Amino acid sequence: MTLNASGPISLGGSTAGQSINLELGQSATAQVSMNDTNVRTLAGVASGAIVMPTNFYGKSAASVNFSDHSVYSGTSSPATAGYRVNSDGFDYENIQGVYTALTQWATPTSVGGNYEVFATLNSGTLTTGTTGSWIATSTNPTWTRSNGVVGTTQLVNMTMQVRATGTATVLDTWTIDLEAERF
């Protein structure tokens, strides 16, 4: 989650958006100090005085990091290549209906359902998947390209973006290529 942009903030406690401990992935009652490295990092204050609660407003310990990927499926039967952003904090490739994890995109992974993704189709045609609107990662959005025509290859190129749910700030941008070839 993200700490509140105004109002109370505390080191401990069990209220999401107010508890620094919870934001850092610690228990509500964990021992914590303003001088702890992870607390200073969250506040954005490397040394000197930390102003409570001001330095913590709107801060998040979570981070996202996606990578460009190409997914290829080549087979003598109908071919399917796909990509999925999962709420478990990992993204997956789909080759012939088998999903394999690519990378951990959310740190910590427990925040993976707190984001939205936006797919822009640059070229090709998708078989399934939504483009042109923000989609919650909690729904495990998926995009696929299938090809049943012998001797052909179907290509898709997409630009992907991610943001925290309900915000306007894009946190990362990456590209996905899907290639389905039927021999």
Q: Which of 61, 85, 113 is the last residue of a domain?
A: 61
Q: Is the pLDDT of residue 155 over 90?
A: yes
The arithmetic mean of pLDDT across residues 50-57, rounded, is 95
As given in the structure block, the two tokens for residue 173 are: 């941008």
pLDDT tens digit sequence for 55-83: 999 888 889 999 999 999 999 999 999 99
Q: What φ, ψ does residue 182 adopt, rounded to 5°?
A: -110, 120
pLDDT tens digit sequence for 5-30: 999 999 999 998 999 998 888 899 99
C-alpha span between 180 and 27 (Å, rounded):
46
Q: Is residue 76 located within the same domain as residue 159? A: yes
C-alpha span between 6 and 2 (Å, rounded):
12
- Predicted confidence band at 168 (pLDDT cuts at 50, 70, 90)? confident
Q: Is residue 158 located within the same domain as residue 78? A: yes
Distances in Å between the Cα of 4 and the Cα atoms of 42, 73, 115, 157 are: 13, 45, 17, 37
Task: Name the DSSP class of 48.
Answer: S
Q: Are 3 and 23 in contact (CB under 8 A)?
A: yes
Q: Is residue 56 located within the same domain as residue 69? A: no
How much is the pTM? 0.80
Q: Is the pLDDT of residue 1 over 80?
A: no
The arithmetic mean of pLDDT across residues 88-95, rounded, is 98
Burial zone of 111 (CB within 10 Å; 0-12 exposed, 13-18 middle, 19+ buried):
buried
Please give the pLDDT value at position 111.
87
Q: Are 103 and 67 in contact (CB under 8 A)?
A: yes
**Residue 107 is part of a domain; what is its CATH number?**
2.60.40
Please give the pLDDT value at position 55.
96
Q: Are 26 and 11 in contact (CB under 8 A)?
A: no
Please give the pLDDT value at position 26.
84
Tell me how many domains the chain contains: 2
Please give the pLDDT value at position 167.
81
Q: What integer best gives the mean pLDDT of the chain? A: 95
Q: Are 142 and 82 in contact (CB under 8 A)?
A: yes
Q: Is residue 72 located within the same domain as residue 132? A: yes
Parent domain of 48:
1-61
Q: Is residue 164 located within the same domain as residue 85? A: yes
The arithmetic mean of pLDDT across residues 103-121, rounded, is 94
Q: What φ, ψ does residue 6 adopt, rounded to 5°?
A: -160, 170
Higher-confidence residue of 111 and 13: namely 13
C-alpha span between 54 and 170 (Å, rounded):
24
Q: Is residue 49 located within the same domain as residue 98? A: no
Q: What percent of the chain has pLDDT over 70?
A: 99
Q: What percent of the chain has pLDDT over 90?
A: 84
